Amino acid sequence: MKTSRFRYWKLCSNDCFRSRGFCASAAIQFGTQYTKGPLQASDLQHLLQKCAANKAIREGKVFHGLVFQAGLQVDTLMSNIIINLYSKCGVISSARQVFDRMPKRSLVSWNTIIGAHTQYGEGEEALRLFTQMQREQKTPPSEFTLSSVLCACAAKSAMCESKQLHAFALKIAFDSSVYVATALLDVYAKCELIKDASRIFDSMPERSAVTWSSMVSGYVQNNLHEEALVLFHRAQKVGLQQTQFTLSSAVSACASLSALIEGNQIHAVLVRTGYGLNFFVSASLIDMYAKCGSIEDAYLVFSVVEDKNIVLWNAMISGFSRHARSMEAMILFEKLQQAGMLPNEITYISVLSACSHTGLVEMGQRYFDLMVRDPNVNPNVQHYSCMVDLLGRAGKVNEAHFLIETMPFGATVSMWGSLLNSCKIHGNLELARIASKYLFHMEPENGGNHVLLSNIYAANKMWEEVARSRKLLKDSGVRKEMGKSWIEVKDKVHTFVVGDGQHPRIADIYIKLEDLADEMKTHDYKADPEHDLHDVEDNQKEELLRHHSEKLALAFGLISLPSGAPIRIKKNLRICGDCHIFIKLAAKITARSIIVRDTNRFHHFRNGSCSCGDFW
């Protein structure tokens, strides 16, 4: 009779949970009416498991009360189920109370509570519990225990503890477990020990989809984007079913490499697998297209997602900002609020950056004041950095310096670097010396700061100071970063440096440059020696300017890409003024769309003009 009653009770309770009208009072009334007596342990276990699966915390607490009424709270299995219920519902304090009061704990008890603390970001407590378990629990930990504790270490980037756990895994022969090995490579990747992570991956006899995803993600986190894509293609070759996390990491790698063709291919896989509408995947795609210079495709991805979250809005506003599309960024900021969303810290950084890229000082100040009054946002150093950049670019270098001196945060390297660059543009030698003094102290290994100050001296024809500054750089042993430009043609990335003579088609490239220069003379173009800051004759300066890396990349693109195809160039330094004029004219003469991504922003050259409006 008891068995048939329980089966009936179980079937009916399933129906109750499927119904949206399930509530605690109805459950109790149902239980007392149909069980004709107090609930048995098996009945309560079943109901508690259903509450956990549905995250029905209110009903779960009622059944927890019935457990006390029935005197079943000392039962280990029952306590484990209740700990799982509270963990699934995010009530860790209640789960811990149940765990702490247990007279006897099983391995499942320890696994569940350690996993709960790890899941909700309480890594230190998870590690402390693991240590306590080692002292109290006679049964050795399982692979799930170790993987949970390693996940806690990964969240904290706890390198020392991770290595100790690795040694422990080797001691108890758990290092070959796919769960433990995956957790180990993940924690090593997050601790920037990517070689150790790769070594573990290569030694694994068996790998899961999570293993592959963690390794691809690890390479991306450590800025090894090419290695990430190589591993992604290796996973494709072995026929591994791709997850949204693997694909999202591969998209991020394409974004960092500006690999648009490969990004398009992965986007096609996402559409085919149905992951394309996932929020985080969509945000990765928007970021990838924006960083690859295709802001129109980024907006297309954004527009097809119906229920947008703040991550998507931020990704799109940031994309418009990077492309100096300030009007679109500001319109999207307004639409975000009209859609009932609240802007957060990242939203304000993006819209302030958009104002900075186009010199909209008054609008930028308005957004900054709006942010300061917003009770949901805490202004941070990045917001002030945007304002310093905005004021400095617009020529208000003294106001930018005053903001640095009076803000409630310590000035960062990026702030002083922005101010120094603004001093170069607007010729403020006094503030340039102040900014460079701080930069030399804060990042002595960065030769670029010495070069920038030297260029400011050169622009003012202070050649003795130039010589002194360059000698100081040489004596320090710090090497300045060489200017480089990249262009992708037929799935291959070609790199150029100033005066390059190594490329297989360098002779054709120089011929094309000469042809362009000759045609530009009819448009009154002449290389401006003011843009070269070497202490040499003007004709030598013109020769040096003619072979800048972005011009070489442009010429190669013109002779290699189909007629009418856009030319996309990436540069590791700020584009110089002469190259900017040259590429504007080249876009007009060749009727091409030319997109250059430098360290500051994207420049879209079309019909003899640039999207930056000559403000960069």
Confidence of residue 34 (pLDDT cuts 50, 70, 90): very low
Name residue, tokens 């922003």. 601
Confidence of residue 389 (pLDDT cuts 50, 70, 90): very high
Query: What pLDDT score was predicted for residue 278?
Result: 81
Query: What pLDDT score was predicted for residue 508?
Result: 95
Query: What pLDDT score was predicted for residue 143?
Result: 82
Q: How far is CA 430 from CA 202, 223, 401, 412, 444, in A?
A: 56, 37, 11, 20, 21
Task: Classify residue 395: in a domain, yes or no.
Answer: yes
Euclidean distance between CA atoms 544 and 551, whole angstroms:
11
Query: What pLDDT score was predicted for residue 532?
Result: 52
For 263-313, give the DSSP string.
Answer: HHHHHHHHHHHT-TTSHHHHHHHHHHHHHTT-HHHHHHHHHH-SS--HHHH
Q: What is the pLDDT of residues 420-448, one digit of tens each?
A: 989 988 889 999 999 999 998 998 888 88
218 burial via Cβ count (<10 Å: 0-12, 13-18, 19+): buried
Task: Classify residue 252: in a domain, yes or no.
Answer: no
Q: Which of 481, 505, 521 is the last residue of a domain?
A: 481
Query: What pLDDT score was predicted for residue 451?
Result: 80
Same domain, residue pair 506 and 594: yes
Query: Which structure tokens are listed for 106?
Result: 């099983």
The single-letter DSSP state of residue 445 is T
Query: What pLDDT score was predicted for residue 507?
Result: 93
Q: Which of 330, 347, 379 is the last residue of a domain?
A: 379
Same domain, residue pair 358 and 423: no
Same domain, residue pair 517 and 421: no
Name the residue range of residue 430's domain. 380-481
Same domain, residue pair 551 and 471: no
Query: What pLDDT score was predicted for residue 14?
Result: 52
Task: Classify residue 225: in a domain, yes or no.
Answer: no
Q: How far is CA 390 from CA 210, 326, 473, in A?
A: 43, 13, 29
Confidence of residue 161 (pLDDT cuts 50, 70, 90): confident
Q: What is the pLDDT of residues 322-375, one digit of tens each?
A: 998 999 999 999 999 999 999 999 999 999 999 998 899 999 999 999 999 999
Q: Indicate if the pLDDT at residue 481 is higher than 80.
A: no
For 142-158, give the DSSP string.
Answer: -HHHHHHHHHHHHHHT-
Same domain, residue pair 370 and 389: no
Q: Indicate if the pLDDT at residue 155 is higher than 80.
A: no
Please say whether the beta carbons of 541 and 529 come within 8 A.
yes
Confidence of residue 469 (pLDDT cuts 50, 70, 90): confident
Task: Classify residue 261: in a domain, yes or no.
Answer: no
Same domain, residue pair 504 and 568: yes
Same domain, residue pair 433 and 459: yes
Q: Which of 156-160, 293-297, 518-522, 612-616 has the highest mean pLDDT?
A: 293-297
How many CA atoms lie within 13 Å of 190's alpha carbon, on the beta-carbon side? 20
Please say whether the beta carbons of 584 and 504 come within 8 A.
no
Task: Classify residue 408: in a domain, yes or no.
Answer: yes
Query: Which structure tokens are listed for 421?
Result: 């660059």
Confidence of residue 63 (pLDDT cuts 50, 70, 90): confident
Q: Indicate if the pLDDT at residue 99 is higher than 70.
A: yes
Query: Which structure tokens are listed for 89?
Result: 């519902």
Query: What pLDDT score was predicted for residue 160?
Result: 81
Same domain, residue pair 337 and 440: no
Euclidean distance between CA atoms 244 and 269, whole angstroms:
10
Buried b or exposed e, range 476-505, using 16+ CB within 10 angstroms: eebeeeebbbbbbbeeeebbbbbebeebee
Euclidean distance between CA atoms 585 and 563, whole angstroms:
17
Query: What pLDDT score was predicted for residue 530?
Result: 58
Euclidean distance between CA atoms 394 and 428, whole angstroms:
13
Same domain, residue pair 554 and 493: yes
Task: Classify residue 313: in a domain, yes or no.
Answer: yes
Segments in 427-548 forming alpha helices (H): 429-442, 447-459, 463-476, 506-521, 538-546
Query: What pLDDT score was predicted for residue 612?
Result: 85
Task: Classify residue 357: in a domain, yes or no.
Answer: yes
Counted domains in the chain: 3
Question: Residues 318, 322, 323, 324: is their CA dihedral positive or negative?
Answer: positive
Same domain, residue pair 530 and 575: yes
Starting at the edge strand found earlier in the chain, the sheet holding 609-610 runs 492-497, 484-489, 567-571, 594-597, 602-606, 609-610
CB pairs under 8 A, 24+ apart, for 465-472? 466/533, 466/535
Q: Which residues make Cβ contacts (< 8 Å) with residue 171, sequence separation at least 6?
A: none
Same domain, residue pair 429 and 515: no
- pTM of the shown model: 0.78
Task: Classify residue 240: in a domain, yes or no.
Answer: no
> Taking residues 306-317, what's their average pLDDT?
93
Euclidean distance between CA atoms 528 and 532, whole angstroms:
8
- H/E segment holding residue 34: helix 24-35
What CATH number is attached to the domain comprising 414? 1.25.40
Same domain, residue pair 493 and 604: yes
Query: Which structure tokens are listed for 363?
Result: 């609008």
> Taking residues 602-606, what's their average pLDDT?
92
Q: Which of 325, 348, 379 is the last residue of a domain?
A: 379
